[in-house]
């Protein structure tokens, strides 16, 4: 078994506030992973507003915001446990985020 972090990215800050239906879909997806005993950490949602994020560059210049002027911003993450990365990808594909043009990055966690 390996642990994978699923990192969610959205394009539009407006999508950050889900409708009740979207919320229900997300919850169904998350609970379905838990029901398969594959959820390690239900993770967190990251606030996308300008005053809720700072970026510190290599020369320690601090800028505001979670870089939403870029194409995408990270909106949240969870950690799941599966046998293979392919299985993790299959689970990720069921997430309703793709309906609103979001994307998911699947990354294996380094086990210490």
Could you list the residues that contact other proteins (CB under 8 A)?
Answer: 24, 27-28, 30-32, 34-37, 39, 42
Q: Which DSSP state fits 110?
A: P
Phi, psi of 102 (to 5 degrees): -80, 175
Nearest residue (CB) to other proteins, 73 versus 91: 91
Between 43 and 53, CB nearer to other proteins: 43
Report d(CA 14, CA 31) in Å as an integer. Answer: 25
Q: Which is nearer to other proteins, 66 or 92 (CB)?
A: 92
Shortest separation between residue 48's beta carbon and other proteins, angstroms: 23
Q: Residue 45 — φ and ψ, nearest 5°?
A: -105, 135
């Amino acid at each position: 078994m390996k642990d994978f972090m699923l990192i969610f990215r959205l394009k539009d800050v407006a999508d950050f506030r889900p409708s009740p239906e979207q919320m229900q879909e997300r919850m169904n997806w998350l609970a379905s992973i838990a029901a398969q005993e594959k959820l390690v950490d239900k993770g967190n949602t990251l606030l996308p507003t300008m005053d809720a994020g700072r970026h510190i560059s290599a020369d320690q210049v601090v800028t505001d915001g979670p870089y939403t002027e870029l194409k995408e911003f990270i909106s949240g993450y969870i950690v799941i446990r599966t046998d293979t990365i392919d299985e993790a990808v299959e689970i990720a594909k069921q997430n309703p985020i793709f309906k609103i043009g979001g994307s998911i990055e699947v990354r294996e966690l380094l086990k210490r």
